[in-house]
Structure 1
Amino acid sequence: MNFIIWIVVGGLLGWVASMIMRTDAQQGMFLNVVVGIIGALLGGWLLAPLFGTGTINQNDFSISSLLVSLLGAVILLAIVNLFRRGSPR
């Protein structure tokens, strides 16, 4: 059951991150889930030690973990945009 929740929350976080970075028209539902989950991993690696919280990948569904996972997804999309276009949006 946690796996399904993980995919749903990852998809929502990926969708919100794509809306923030204005890449929503370029990616579908599958890429939103991928961005959300990989962004949570990136956020857990980079941001979780700074804020002292977990991420959705660590079964921590608090507001702070959702924000760290969302920030990780936004950072991931910024990195992808940097390599794809040459400059972040």
Structure 2
Amino acid sequence: MGLLLWIVVGAIAGWLAGLMVRGGGFGFLTNVVVGIVGAAVAGWVLPRLGVQVGGGFFREIFHATIGAVILLVLVSLIGRMTR
């Protein structure tokens, strides 16, 4: 059940991040991966910044979305630098 929950949170977070970052959507599967990686990024970064938001499922989506947005912005910046 844990893996399925990660995929659901990743899908939601990746989709939301793709909407927030212009040109950041890469399709469903890639957005799920970006959401899952974003959740890991947020899980590492946000506690170090002292960010504590709510609890439960919605907190996980919020944190994963923030991490996915950070990841999409970094990928976008790297893409611009290599052009």
Quickly name the TM-score band, shorter chain normalised: 0.7 to 0.9
Between the two structures, name the one with larger relative contact order (CA 8 Å, sep ≥ 6): 2
Query: Normalising by structure 2, what TM-score?
Result: 0.80
CA shift in 2, pair 1:65/1:8, >3 Å:
closer
Structure 2, unaligned runs of 5 or more: none
RMSD: 1.7
| CA–CA distance in structure 2, aligned partners of residues 84 and 34 of structure 1 | 18
Q: Percentage identity across aligned positions? A: 40
CA shift in 2, pair 1:62/1:12, >3 Å:
closer
- Aligned residue pairs total 78
Query: Normalising by structure 1, what TM-score?
Result: 0.76
Give, as a single letter, the amino acid of the residue that structure 2 aligns with 1:46: V
Give the match for residue 16 of structure 1: 16
Is 1:76 matched up with 2:71?
yes
